[in-house]
Structure 1
Amino acid sequence: MNWFKTAAAAAALTTLVAAPALAGENLDQIKSAGVIKIGTEGTYAPFTFHDKSGKLVGFDVEIGEAVAAKLGVKAEFIEGKWDGLIAGLDANRYDTVINQVGITEARKQKYDFSEPYIASKAVLIVKEGNEDIKSFDDLKGKTSAQSLSSNFGKIAEAAGAELVGTDGFDQSIQLVLTGRADATINDSLSFLDFKKQQPQAPVKVVAEKPDADYSGIIVRKGDADLVAAINKALAEIKADGTYKTISDKYFGQDVSK
């Protein structure tokens, strides 16, 4: 047997030996450490943002804390920009991402998701007085402020818009307000929260996608035990009223459907 065949055989053997050891490994490590590390933006109100005191708060933050409590551990949040957030899972920077991550077929090929925990719709937002954009089709040839790798960015790109990269919802809205972008496609729940906080802001929704998008808690592929534990925790916080309390606090209604 030559060197190349020997090396290949050794690599294959290593893979076979290593694979079973991965089962439940992450969940065991999380429980042993007493901490689940959660990747999040911190710039995406009302899901994950900093309040006036600088504290990280938001719907996703409280969901993460509630899930962690059901797992018997504490939540440790690690912030990062959206465009590199999911990739942080690959680099083992954290155990999961809780940041309105849409469940898509493309992502499911590389990562695992919990059951959906929130539903929202994509809306098209423009500045008051803009009469050129009234539908998603009107984005062709216009600029749209987006997190480049987000579902919303892909919708804008598919409509023919030129994307202006941003770090999240707040920056996207500011670019629309200042005229540096014609529009942004973003989350309906984020827009409702923004208008609640700043009712005089001269921006409006001109179109809405009919179908809801569902977000889940995303983990590395093959982490079935961790996914099962997270799903159990989500079911428990819905059953005991914790989810409703958090949902009512931020949206005034159940946003799981």
Structure 2
Amino acid sequence: MFKKVILSTTFALMLAACGQDGGSASAQNQASQPTSTPTETVKLIDKINNKQTLLVGTMGTYAPFTYHETDGKLTGYDVEVTRAVAEKLGVQVEFKETPWDAMMAGLKGGRFDIVANQVALTSPERQAMFDKAEPYSWSGKMIVARADHAPIAKIEDIKGVKTAVMLASNYDEVAKQMGADLVHTDTMAQGLLLVQQKRADITLNDELSLLDYLKKNPDSGLKEVWRTPSAEKLGAGLVINKNEPEALAKINEAMAELKADGTLKKLGEQFFGEDVSLH
């Protein structure tokens, strides 16, 4: 009788353990089986050819590239470019909003077919795992100053100039290397305000983000005085998993058509006031 009680208790504990999320070794092993990975069962080119809905990873919180309007509709430059590409391909897209730090892992794991979130794909590690389609935007650094400020010929000219930059950002590092008189901020908006208040002479930040600000605030009293030369800009494109050459070719063809028919120009002017697809 005592043995039966022990066996019954042990069996009950085993059942309880298997019922917990991720609590059993067998559940973890099943989750790691290669046959459960969506990218191995359905290739992107097959989804395109069969006119299936493509799943697109994006943040939804990164204006003006991917964000929600006041009525809740998801929009933004990257979002609308993706919709235009889908129309050229003859497919529908469903956006899956996700934090940036989980986005590329989601693409690799098959949660998304495509990522549309201003990805330049510059690191060798990511280039080994993913492919980037032809860029739909090009960006670099930009310097904004008050309207009466003289143009700046080259980035080195900010040496000794009181420059507002976000603390610990890439722009902070660049300004430091150039010998600027640093005024640190937490956000881009704070840097622009400091320039308006004459507590800094210039601010250095992302070109597309600053173009968006200047377009939305034509009476800000600020203007562009310098931006990265074209040859040094980085291009952002739609990103897919590696080893999908046919799908990549179809996306590139669609992007070329959007550039040729003026769609990219129109969208660039809508969100930034200029065509940002030009290199």
Higher strand share: 1
Partner residue of 1:226?
Answer: 247
Q: Find 2:214's aligned residue among 183, 190, 195.
A: 195
Q: Where does structure 2 lack aligned partners over 5 or more consecutive residues?
A: 1-33, 148-153, 195-199
- Alignment check: 8 A CA contact 1:89 1:219 kept: yes
Shift of 1:92: 2.0
Mapped to 2, the partners of 1:197 and 1:111 lie a distance apart of 34
TM-score (norm 1): 0.66
In the alignment, which residue of structure 2 is the partner of 1:61?
79
Map residues 150-189 of structure 1 onto 2, 5 A cutoff: 153-154=169-170, 156-157=172-173, 172-174=187-189, 176=191, 185-187=205-207, 189=208
Instruction: Report 1:1-257 matches (<5 A).
Output: 25-32=43-50, 34-106=52-124, 107-124=126-143, 145=166, 153-154=169-170, 156-157=172-173, 172-174=187-189, 176=191, 185-187=205-207, 189-199=208-218, 208-211=227-230, 212-257=233-278
Distance 1:24 1:160, change over 3 A: farther
- Relative to structure 1, is the Cα distance of residues 158 and 89 closer, same or farther in structure 2, using a 3 angstrom cutoff? farther
Please give the TM-score of this superposition, normalised by the length of structure 2: 0.62
How many aligned positions are there? 226
Q: Is the CA contact (8 Å cut-off) linking 1:89 and 1:96 kept in structure 2?
A: yes
RMSD: 4.2
State the alpha-carbon separation in 2 of the partners of residues 235 and 38 from structure 1: 20
Q: How far has the Cα of 1:54 moved from its partner?
A: 1.8
Contact map agreement 1:38 1:98 (CA 8 A) in 2: yes
Does 1 or 2 have the higher relative contact order (CA < 8 Å, sep 6+)? 1
Q: Percent identity?
A: 37
Measured against aligned partners, the alpha-carbon deviations of 1:31-73 in whole angstroms (never above 9, x if no partner) come to: 5462111112222322222222221112211110011111211
Q: Is the 8 A contact 1:124 1:206 kept in 2?
A: yes
Question: What amino acid is the match of 2:246?
Answer: D
Contact 2:139 2:234 in 1 (8 A): yes
The alpha-carbon deviation at position 113 of structure 1 amounts to: 0.8
